[in-house]
Chains A and B, each alone.
Chain A
Amino acid sequence: MLALWRDRRVRDILSQVGVGLILVGLTVWFVLNASANLRQAGIASGFDFLGRTSGIEVAFVLTDYTARSSIYDLLVVGVVNTIVVSLLSIVAATLLGFLIGLARLSRHWLIATVAGVYVEIVRNIPLLVFVFFMYGGVLAALPGPRDSFIFFGISALNNRGFTIPVPVDGALMRLALLAVTLSIAAHVVLALVSKKRRDATGQGLPMGVIGAVLLVLFPLGALSFATLMSTWDIPQLRGFNFRGGFVLVPEFVALFLALVTYTAGFIAEIVRGGIASVPKGQLEAARALGLSPMTTLRLVTVPLALRVIVPPMTSQYLNVLKNSSFGAAIAYPEVVSLFMGSALVATGQAVEIIAITLAIYLAIGLAVSAFMNWYNARVALVTR
């Protein structure tokens, strides 16, 4: 017996089987307890509840959901709201973060110091404090509709949210957005073709002109055409409130502002670290080769810095997605507050609802990771 235990292979197998048995035992025990408890509470398990009428009013809806829709539609509203606030926050936080990160590297002492102070303050305070501050301290302190801040005469910011104009019929706008997406895709394809030709023959396509047309002129033209040709529903003050337009509720604006201010501090540090990691010799070599400062930035600094920046940036983007759940604390109708909150209270299907919510986050997270890994493989160092 003891001799058998001394055999490493036997020991490996036995110890793994042991751990497996303990886990299976625990799981069975948990499941038995849970089903007994659920039976006692009179809750039938299963996913039938998704088809039931929800009866829950939601203040911020981008789909055609109404209180008469099903719980499943409610889930869709939550997921859409989560993705919308995450995406917008990611874009804005990346821009602000890059600005602050570059400012921290500025030769100018004052700019670098101010940026540094921002980063140090923001990173040491919980996000939830920002969310509450923006909601209870900033948005609630805005004037009422009658004294709104008006932007360009077409949008109004007040304590009931941010009212923006929307096209009456979105078809033309959607068509224009599709055309812009296609033109960007065309640019990507042409850039790849150009690179292949340049590698083979030394002569690529005139990417400067192509880029100007496909990335700037055509999108600008298409979007302004659609903007001018659509009829817009412009918010107008009627009595005590604004009519028309689309209201970005205060919860949305507060969550967005909080996510952006908070995440920008972290992105700034990533950007600073990435750029600082570019070896000085590379820049000196670029100058010795006669590259102009702009070309050096484009061909040397950015590609080398991106290698360092991309992996931590991925986890920041995923953090924004996960952190959008903080909206539940101020009742922004995202997936946690709608589904894990309202729907759970309405149906009592705790196990199923928790499982679905977690699965959604894991699925989106995996998709983002896969995309960023693909991108990272493209910018990663290729050694010959």
Chain B
Amino acid sequence: MSAPIALRGWSLWRARLFATPLDSAISIAVLLGLGVILQPLLIWAIANASWSGSTRADCSPGGACWVFIKARFGQFMYGFYPEPERWRPNLFGALVLTWGLAVLMRGTPRRGLIALVGVIVLPFLGLWLLYGGFGLREIETRQWGGLMLTLVLTYYAALIALPLAVILALGRRSRLPFLRLLSIIFIEFWRGVPILTVIFLASLLLPLIMPSGVGVDRLARAIIGLGLVIAAYMAEAFRGGLQAVPGGQAEASAALGLGHWRTTAFIILPQATRIALPALTNETIALLKNTSLVLVVSIFDLLGIAQAALADPTWVGFQVEAYVFAGAIYWVLCWALSALGLLLEARMAEGRERT
């Protein structure tokens, strides 16, 4: 058999769409169907859409009213965070991005140290920048919102979930029966109930089980709830990774004189993380998507602020615009996360190929 010929241009499309009469018929039917669906959609979203102006009077009927999104853009991004202070979330976002790029770039000197310092310092720096105090104006979490809040929820919930997940996964594979049982109960409980109920539960029960007078911030309750659930799911991802590390690795490490904890930290966990990475990426994406549920306890993340904006009597009836806009942003974020996951996977695979 001869090697397949690389097709280009028209011949490629002919092979894809019109190879046989049946293929041609299917292609034409599908294209017609797409046309019927997409044409009104494109006319609505682009051709007939209104882009400029500032009130609903500037919007023509029969097309999308992107003016609504434009007028509310600040809110969609920051919620009710006061405008003169919005440099603070911006700065924090820029810091996290710079740190991430520095850690990812090969040429950065002392990458390990930078990574470690960032993991420890950035969360506290972020709290200070966002909430204020110590010289900055205090901004109640009630005023946080929009895309910024979605990212804050994801970041801090993941920060709670990852270490907890490692502990749970190790616990589930522990030699000690009591620890194993506890880990199993914890994991299966949180995986068995809807995240929505967990957010309700956290917002109702956390203040109840604290001594009276000790308040737990509403946003903190949601983050703790999300963190606990995602930890259970991530623990299962880590467990898969732990199970896939060959037993010889631990034995070799023991033979070299490393104790139990050093073997776990320096031999087993790095390899398990590499194997678990695709699953962990998926769980992080699930976390990002599930942050939208906080609107049931009146925290206005990206979707919540869109929902709130629709209640404004001067902008009634632009549901589709709001949801399409929010959906598009979520899509880009999830896509970026999965791209990051693929990049990390490729990076971690390099070390393996060298051997």
Contact residues in A for B175 (Cβ distance below 8 Å): 12
Report A13 CB to chain B, min CB distance, Å: 9
> Once the chains bind, are A354 and B200 in contact (CB under 8 Å)?
yes
Main secondary structure of the interface of B (DSSP, over half): helix
Report the tally of A-B residue pairs with Cβ distances under 8 A: 137
For the side of the interface on A, what is the size category? 35 or more
Chain A residues with CB under 8 Å of B23's CB are 108
Known: A322-B193, A336-B194. A38 touches B292 (CB 8 A): no
Number of interface residues of B (CB under 8 A): 52
Q: Does B26 contact A (CB under 8 A)?
A: yes
Interface residue B159 (Cβ < 8 Å from any Cβ of A): no
CA distance A114 to B29 in the complex (A): 13
Which of A16, A121, A124, A125 counts the most B-chain CB atoms under 10 A from its CB? A124
Contact of B289 among A12, A23, A36, A126 (CB under 8 A): A126
A179–chain B nearest beta-carbon distance, Å:
36
Stretch at the interface among B51-59, B81-89, B318-326: B318-326
Q: Write out the residue numbers on chain B whose beta carbons fall within 8 Å of the beta carbon of A110.
A: 16-17, 26-27, 30-31
Asked whether any CB of chain A lies closer than 8 Å to the CB of B307, the reply is yes
Contacts of A121 in B (CB 8 A): 331
Q: Given A33-B209, A133-B320, A137-B323, verify A126-B178 contact (CB < 8 Å).
A: no
Q: In the complex the two chains form, is B201's CB within 8 Å of A124's CB? A: no
Which residues of B are found within 8 Å of A322, using beta-carbon distances? Answer: 193-195
CA distance A138 to B170 in the complex (A): 47
- Is there an interface contact between A361 and B212, defined as CB atoms closer than 8 Å? no
B155-176 interface bits toward A, Cβ cutoff 8 Å, 1 = contact, 0 = none: 0000000000000000000011
Task: State whether A128 touches B303 (Cβ < 8 A).
Answer: yes
Residues of A within 8 A of B296 (CB): 328-329
- A183 interface residue (CB < 8 Å to B): no
Instruction: Report whether B192 and A124 are in contact in the complex, using a CB–CB cutoff of 8 Å.
Output: no
B197 in contact with A325 (CB, 8 Å): yes
Contact with A along B181-196 (1 / 0, CB 8 A): 0100000010011111
A40 interface hit (Cβ, 8 Å): yes
**Interface pairs A-B: 8 shortest CB-CB:** A136-B319, A124-B334, A109-B16, A126-B289, A322-B194, A30-B209, A325-B194, A16-B178
In addition to A127-B289, A137-B319, 15 A-B residue pairs with Cβ atoms within 8 Å of each other are A16-B178, A19-B179, A34-B209, A108-B27, A110-B17, A128-B293, A129-B292, A129-B327, A132-B319, A136-B323, A329-B295, A336-B194, A336-B200, A357-B197, A358-B201
Give chain A's interface residues, CB within 8 Å of chain B.
12, 15-16, 19-20, 23, 30-31, 33-34, 36-38, 40, 108-111, 114, 121, 123-129, 132-133, 136-137, 140-141, 322-323, 325-326, 328-329, 336, 340, 344, 350-351, 354, 357-358, 361-362, 365-366
